[in-house]
Amino acid sequence: MWHPLVRAPSDPSSLVAEVSDGIRFLVAMFHKSLLYITAFFASSGLYSLKPTTSSVYGVWAQSQPQYLLGLGIGDITGPVVETNMMGYASLAQTNTGLHMRQRSRAWIIADSSNPSDRVVFINADIAMGDTGIRRSIVDQLSSQYPGLYSNTNIALVSTHQHSGVGGYLENLLPQITSLGYVKETADAIVAGTVLAVQRAHDSLQPGNLRLGNTTILDANINRSPSAYLANPAEERAKYQWDQDKDLSLLRFEDSNGNARGFLSFFPVHGTSLYENNTLVSSDNKGMAAHIYEAMVEPDSMPGNVTFIAGFTQSNVGDTSPNTLGAFCESPGQAWDGLPCDFDHSTCGNRTEDCHGRGPGFRISDFESNRMIAQLQVDGAKSLMDTPQTLAPVSGPVSWVHTYMNMSFRSFSLPNGTTVQTCPPAMGYSFAGGTTDGPGAFDFIQGDNSSDPQNPFWEIVKGAVTPFPNAEQIACQYPKPILLNTGFAQIPYSWSPHTVDIQILQVGQLVMLIMPGEMTTMAGRRLRDAVRSTLISSGVIGEDAYVVVAGPANTYGHYIATREEYSVQRYEGASTIFGQWTLDSYIDKYTSLVQFLNPSFTAQPASDAAPQDQTKNAITLRTPVIVDNPPIGKKFGDVLADVQTSSSYHAGDTVVAQFVGANPRNNLRLERTFLTVDQLVNGNWKAVKSDSHPSTKYEWLRTNLILGFSTVNISWTIENGTPQGTYRITYIGDSKPLIGSISSFTGHSSNFTVSA
- Contact between 256 and 43 under an 8 Å Cβ cutoff? The reply is yes
301 vs 534, beta carbon nearer ligand NAG: 301
Q: Using alpha carbons only, what angle is made at residue 120 by residues 119 and 122, rounded to the nearest 5 degrees? A: 150
14 vs 405, beta carbon nearer ligand NAG: 405
For 67, phi then psi, to 5°, come to: -125, 165
Least CB distance to ligand NAG at residue 212 (A): 6
Q: Using alpha carbons only, what angle is made at residue 320 by residues 102 and 528, rounded to the nearest 5 degrees? A: 100
Least CB distance to ligand NAG at residue 189 (A): 21
Of 426, 580, 594, nearest in space to 494 by CA? 426
Least CB distance to ligand NAG at residue 639 (A): 7
Q: How far apart are CA 322 and CA 365, in angstroms?
A: 9
- Contact between 419 and 411 under an 8 Å Cβ cutoff? The reply is yes
DSSP 408-437: T-EEE-TTS-EEE--S--EEGGGGGEETTE
Least CB distance to ligand NAG at residue 364 (A): 8
Name the 3-class secondary structure at 619. Answer: strand
Q: How far apart are CA 698 and CA 95, in angstroms?
A: 9
Give the residue ranges of DSSP H helices in 496-561.
520-536
Q: How far apart are CA 292 and CA 577, in angstroms?
A: 38
274 vs 585, beta carbon nearer ligand NAG: 274
Residues sharing a CB contact under 8 Å with residue 659, sequence separation 6 or more, in sequence order: 629, 630, 633, 634, 635, 636, 637, 639, 708, 709, 710, 711, 746
Least CB distance to ligand NAG at residue 599 (A): 27
149 vs 648, beta carbon nearer ligand NAG: 648
Sign of the CA dihedral running 256, 260, 264, 268: positive
Least CB distance to ligand NAG at residue 611 (A): 8
Residues sharing a CB contact under 8 Å with residue 639, sequence separation 6 or more, in sequence order: 633, 657, 658, 659, 710
22 vs 303, beta carbon nearer ligand NAG: 303
The neighbouring-strand residues paired with 498 are 405
Please state whether beta strands 418-420 and 410-412 pair in parallel, antiparallel, or not at all (unpaired): antiparallel
121 vs 274, beta carbon nearer ligand NAG: 274
Sort residue 562 into left (φ over 0), alpha (ψ -120 to 50) or beta. Answer: alpha
Least CB distance to ligand NAG at residue 320 (A): 13
Name the 3-class secondary structure at 686. Answer: strand
Active site residue 104: no
Give the residue ranges of DSSP H helices in 160-217.
183-202
Largest CA distance in the chain: 80
Q: How far apart are CA 714 and CA 695, in angstroms?
A: 5
144 vs 300, beta carbon nearer ligand NAG: 300
Least CB distance to ligand NAG at residue 116 (A): 30
Q: Which positions lie near ligand NAG, rule CB under 6 A?
A: 213, 246, 248, 274, 276, 300-301, 304, 329, 348-349, 355, 405, 407-408, 413, 415, 417, 446, 448-449, 497-498, 545, 607-608, 640, 655, 657, 679, 698, 712, 749-750
Least CB distance to ligand NAG at residue 520 (A): 12
184 vs 690, beta carbon nearer ligand NAG: 690
Residues sharing a CB contact under 8 Å with residue 333, sequence separation 6 or more, in sequence order: 347, 348, 353
Name the 3-class secondary structure at 199. Answer: helix
545 vs 565, beta carbon nearer ligand NAG: 545
- Contact between 256 and 38 under an 8 Å Cβ cutoff? The reply is yes
Element (H, E) at 583: helix 581-592
112 vs 657, beta carbon nearer ligand NAG: 657
Residue type, 279: L
Least CB distance to ligand NAG at residue 101 (A): 13
- Number of helices (H), then strands (E), belonging to the chain: the values are 13, 38
Of 655, 664, 671, nearest in space to 707 by CA? 664
Q: How far apart are CA 283 and CA 361, in angstroms?
A: 15
The alpha carbon of 550 is separated from its chain's Cα centroid by a whole number of angstroms, namely: 9
Q: How far apart are CA 592 and CA 406, in angstroms?
A: 16
6 vs 620, beta carbon nearer ligand NAG: 6
- Contact between 333 and 348 under an 8 Å Cβ cutoff? The reply is yes
644 vs 652, 718, 725, 731, 748, CA distance in Å?
Answer: 14, 19, 10, 22, 10
**DSSP tag of 665:** G
Name the 3-class secondary structure at 591. Answer: helix
**DSSP tag of 359:** T
70 vs 437, beta carbon nearer ligand NAG: 437
Least CB distance to ligand NAG at residue 203 (A): 13
Element (H, E) at 264: strand 259-265
- Contact between 172 and 619 under an 8 Å Cβ cutoff? The reply is no
Among 320, 574, 734, 748, the active-site one is 320
Least CB distance to ligand NAG at residue 42 (A): 25
Please state whether beta strands 391-392 and 708-716 pair in parallel, antiparallel, or not at all (unpaired): unpaired
Least CB distance to ligand NAG at residue 700 (A): 6
Catalytic residues, which ones? 320
